[in-house]
């Protein structure tokens, strides 16, 4: 059924390309004129543009808006998001799409669950921070630094052990960051510190989406959430709040996900066993200060 919602255009997916152009324009405005006129507002606008850019990177890695992968990836080469190389985002996210391993503490690159044996060895202060990180507020405030530190540390360890693909991904990240620095120093009016803050806030916005995308469940098909939000956050996240639909049909472009969901709503909700929220307002009410689940994976079985 989802085939009819995939792009039938053999050329350009214009909604995606148009939104990417608009995002670059907003980012450019925030880092130049707006940064001169209203620096605090410029940081906030840049943060939204950076979050939107990350969502577009996600769309790119799934094969949009062109059929040519290199052309797609050239569109998002500048390192606007700063902290994670696009190639590493691409590779870890595509690995994450192997649904049978979703939420696994070792095999899912995007999980926040830990092996209970690892959890038992952690100090009390670290456990406390990770519990805070399992509230929505904590995930937004602490999540960007906790996630980035863990990610970079793991990549550093693997690169030193001889993983050339990871090493090369980080080397390619250097010129992508250089483009941003050259822009800030020659054209832009935003300081590097202000830009790093905007990038952090952009990641914080993205944590709203990733916070409860997956849950521990015996059945892989029931691990991905549906958030039936149609407001500004749905646009910012490019409808990936319909996460169970995206995982079942990752090649459907963002602007056709709502129609795909409407056409099979009951089937999707039956498939994911009702893992659903009506909106992000409901998510915030439920989990702003309350952990959504434990940090140690409740169903993990040692191999």
Residue 227 lies in a domain: no
Q: How many domains does the chain have?
A: 1
CA distance 83 to 225: 26
Residue 232 lies in a domain: no
Helix locations, 62-115, DSSP H: 69-75, 86-96
CA distance 95 to 107: 9
pLDDT value of residue 39: 98
CA distance 73 to 52: 16
Question: Tokens for 2?
Answer: 């989802």
Does the pLDDT value for residue 174 go beyond 80?
yes
pLDDT value of residue 240: 98
pLDDT value of residue 4: 66
DSSP conformation class of 227: E
Residue 51 lies in a domain: yes
Please state the pTM of the whole predicted model.
Answer: 0.96
277: enclosing H helix or E strand: strand 276-277
pLDDT value of residue 303: 72
Question: Tokens for 19?
Answer: 């939104």
Least Cα distance to 254 among 52, 102, 24 occurs for 52
Residue 293 lies in a domain: no
Least Cα distance to 87 among 72, 68, 97, 98 occurs for 72
Residue 172 lies in a domain: yes
- Phi, then psi, of 143 in degrees rounded to 5: -55, -45
The pLDDT confidence band at residue 128, using thresholds 50, 70 and 90, is very high
Task: Quote the domain boundaries for residue 74.
Answer: 7-215
pLDDT value of residue 2: 56
Residue-wise pLDDT tens digits, 7-46: 555 579 999 999 999 999 999 999 999 999 999 999 999 9
Residue 159 lies in a domain: yes
Mean pLDDT of the chain: 96
How many Cβ atoms from other residues are within 10 Å of residue 283's Cβ? 22
Chain centre to alpha carbon of residue 188: 26
Least Cα distance to 135 among 205, 223, 212, 200 occurs for 212
Residue 224 lies in a domain: no
Q: Which residues contact 58 (CB under 8 A, 6 or more apart)?
A: 89, 93, 238, 240
Q: What string of DSSP letters covers 101-165?
A: GTT-TTT-TT---B-HHHHHHS-HHHHHHHHHTTSHHHHHHTHHHHHHHHHHHHHHHHHHTT-HH
- Phi, then psi, of 294 in degrees rounded to 5: -75, 160
CA distance 288 to 281: 10
Residue 242 lies in a domain: no
Residue-wise pLDDT tens digits, 197-226: 999 999 999 999 999 999 999 999 999 999
């Amino acid at each position: 059924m989802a085939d009819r919602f995939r792009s039938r255009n053999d050329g350009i997916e214009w909604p995606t390309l148009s939104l990417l152009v608009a995002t670059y324009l907003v980012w450019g405005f925030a880092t130049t004129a707006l940064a001169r006129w209203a620096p605090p507002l410029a940081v906030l606008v840049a943060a939204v543009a950076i979050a939107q850019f990350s969502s577009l990177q996600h769309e790119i890695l799934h094969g949009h808006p062109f059929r040519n992968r290199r052309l797609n990836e050239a569109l998002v080469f500048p390192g606007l998001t700063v902290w994670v190389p696009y190639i590493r985002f691409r590779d870890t996210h595509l690995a994450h799409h192997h649904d049978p391993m979703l939420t696994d503490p070792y095999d899912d690159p995007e999980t926040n669950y830990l092996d209970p044996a690892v959890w038992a060895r952690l100090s009390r202060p670290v456990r406390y921070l990770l519990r805070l990180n399992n509230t929505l507020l904590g995930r937004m405030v602490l999540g960007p630094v906790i996630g980035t530190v863990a990610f970079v540390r793991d990549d550093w360890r693997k690169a030193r052990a001889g993983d050339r693909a990871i090493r090369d991904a980080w080397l390619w990240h250097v010129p992508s960051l250089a483009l941003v620095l050259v822009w800030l120093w020659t054209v832009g009016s935003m300081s590097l510190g202000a830009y790093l803050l905007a990038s952090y806030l952009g990641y914080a916005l993205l944590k709203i989406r990733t916070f409860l995308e997956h849950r521990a469940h015996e059945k892989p098909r029931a691990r991905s959430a549906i958030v039936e939000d149609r407001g500004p956050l749905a646009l910012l996240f490019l409808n990936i709040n319909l996460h169970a639909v995206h995982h079942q049909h990752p090649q459907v472009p963002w602007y056709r996900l709502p129609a795909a969901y409407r056409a099979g709503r009951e089937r999707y909700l039956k498939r994911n066993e009702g893992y659903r929220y009506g909106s992000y307002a409901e998510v915030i009410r439920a989990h702003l200060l309350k952990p959504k689940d434990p940090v140690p994976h409740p169903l993990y079985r040692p191999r």
